[in-house]
Structure 1
Amino acid sequence: MFWRIRVLAFYFTLSMFAVIMAVFLWLPVYFLNLGYNVRYRIAEIFSRIFIFLAKLLCGIKYQVTGIDKLPQDGKPYIVLANHQSFWENLFMQLIIPKHSWVLKKELFDMPVFGWGLRMLNPVAIDRSNSRSVLQILTEGQKKIEQGLHLIMFPEGGTVKIDRNVKFKPSAAKLAINANVPIVLIAHNSGVFWPKGFWFRKPGLISIRILEVISTKKYQDHDVRTLTDYIEERINKEKEILVRLTETNQ
């Protein structure tokens, strides 16, 4: 019962911040049609508030390893990570420089968060549409040409910690076409915050930046091979993180 009170306190406090930001930041940005840099900065502020409140009120802490592996040349790259909860959507804002997303368009319907996403003009796809892959390749290429990093969840949606699904090849294909590196990230956020409204328990989320893959040597016929490697690498590390967490409980 006490745990649910903490979660409700988190959402109540977050909602208060969201209302304040909506009145004093989001609405002026919308009506004045301010540029992407301003919109991105507002999204970053909200993400930092979210992560801070989750730590303060719910005991959801985090630890990042491998941050030094992120490319420092300022050139765009594609980030691929497993997807277990809502938490990592906000957390990525803290460690990945100016970026865009490939995400499901129904996220736009979420109160507050969806409005903020819409301001950033991500690549919003409908998975039921057969042309979604083409949309990812064309719009994703444009984001990269604008100098933005791109974050994608190749599982195609949130996945429970005890399940593995086949990774979709569109991310690898886009990276090869655009000739940009791929950053692999694994985490265990779902142990503490699974899909849905309620956190499961307080604890330390582990985020590991695994490696950076150069796509220069790959061609179109290598897409499936590269995707399979990415799937194996991320899932293997995810399983290790989940197992270590459960062992230490």
Structure 2
Amino acid sequence: MPQLTHNESTKVLRPRKHPWLALIALRSVLFYVGASLAALPFLLLWPGICLSRDTVYAVTDRYLRIQLWLLRVMCGVRYEVRGQENLPDTPVLMASQHESTWETLFFQLLLKRPVMYAKQPIFSYPIFGPLMRKLGHVPVATSATGDTMRDGFRAGAAAVKEGRNLLIFPSGTRRLSQDGQVQAGVGVLYQLAGVPAVPICLNSGACWPYGTLLKYPGTIIVEIGAPIEAGLDRRSFMAQLSAALHG
């Protein structure tokens, strides 16, 4: 899989060293103000949560497009998706690097509305909880036991068998350094789903870094790699996925 170049994957300068920190902070505040104001009309449509899943997706997709526009205009954050031809029309397991909140928000819009795993407490939030359930996302217990993990795997595999793509973050939590290990459970999920796995590399942490509200100007590159065929033994699959994501 083609890896992002050094310039594309360069990490953000530490905030205290960034020469335009004050301007970046101001633009970030403007983005959050704009995103909050843009959300108001969509909140009026909240009773529409009882409509079909496709209708709810159409509404949330529109809001996500507004957020992407605000990111570009207010913060100078753009994006580019490469390798779209590597996403087949049949369901796949999408295995992505995870650097920031950016991909958890916008992969819905950019990658054919995949089912995602999310922490269970989110499903109890007043607005996000019903929305997550409506869109078919899978809750994951914060202190997962063997039984809850198996339930999560089965729920994800069931979504794939219903014809949907399933998005996972094999290295777990958000991190700028992409030298982490692929979690062992990914191999179990791959075998249960029985579909090809598509590795995805990105550098979202350079513009939307974890642990800060600041949004740094630049271009987020999403690189979709060639699918890893279905039916491999677990060790071979894990080796190929690790090589594709971590080089």
- After TM superposition, the score normalised by the length of structure 1 is 0.82
Query: Residue 185 of structure 1: SS of its match in structure 2?
Result: strand
> Aligned match of 1:48 in 44, 51, 65?
65
Q: Does 1:132 align with 2:153?
A: no
Contact 1:80/1:184 (8 A) holds in 2: yes
Q: Which amino acid aligns with 2:70?
A: L
Q: Does 1:186 align with 2:207?
A: no
Contact 1:136/1:170 (8 A) holds in 2: no
Residues 123-148 of structure 1 deviation map (CA, whole Å, 9 limit, x = unaligned):
11014121332022211122112211
- Return the offset for 1:90: 2.1
Structure 1: gaps (5+ residues): 237-249
> Aligned match of 1:34 in 51, 71, 75?
51
Contact 2:114/2:167 (8 A) holds in 1: yes
Distance 1:224 1:102, change over 3 A: farther
Inter-partner Cα distance in structure 1 for 2:83 and 2:229: 17
Residues 59-114 of structure 1 deviation map (CA, whole Å, 9 limit, x = unaligned):
1111222111211xx32111110100011112212322232112222444678656
Distance 1:60 1:2, change over 3 A: same
Contact 1:18/1:112 (8 A) holds in 2: no
Query: Residue 227 of structure 2: SS of its match in structure 1?
Result: strand
Structure 2: gaps (5+ residues): 1-21
Contact 2:154/2:192 (8 A) holds in 1: no
> Aligned match of 2:244 in 209, 233, 237?
233
Q: Does 1:98 align with 2:113?
A: yes
Contact 1:103/1:152 (8 A) holds in 2: no
Farther off after superposition, 56-65 or 162-171: 162-171
Farther off after superposition, 85-94 or 100-109: 100-109
Tell me the equivalent position of 1:15.
36
Q: Does 1:5 align with 2:26?
A: yes
Show the 5 A alignment for 1:84-123: 84-108=99-123, 116-123=131-138
Inter-partner Cα distance in structure 1 for 2:123 and 2:65: 20
Q: Does 1:153 align with 2:169?
A: yes
- Return the offset for 1:198: 1.8
Distance 1:163 1:60, change over 3 A: same
Residues 9-62 of structure 1 deviation map (CA, whole Å, 9 limit, x = unaligned):
1011111111210112xx2223xx222111222222222222221111101111
Number of aligned residue pairs: give it. Answer: 225
Inter-partner Cα distance in structure 2 for 1:36 and 1:9: 32
Contact 1:76/1:148 (8 A) holds in 2: yes
Distance 1:46 1:114, change over 3 A: farther
Inter-partner Cα distance in structure 2 for 1:110 and 1:4: 28
Contact 1:169/1:224 (8 A) holds in 2: no
Query: Residue 204 of structure 1: SS of its match in structure 2?
Result: strand
Identity %: 27
Inter-partner Cα distance in structure 2 for 1:177 and 1:234: 21
Tell me the equivalent position of 1:70.
87
Higher relative contact order, structure no. (Cα contacts within 8 Å, ≥ 6 residues apart): 2
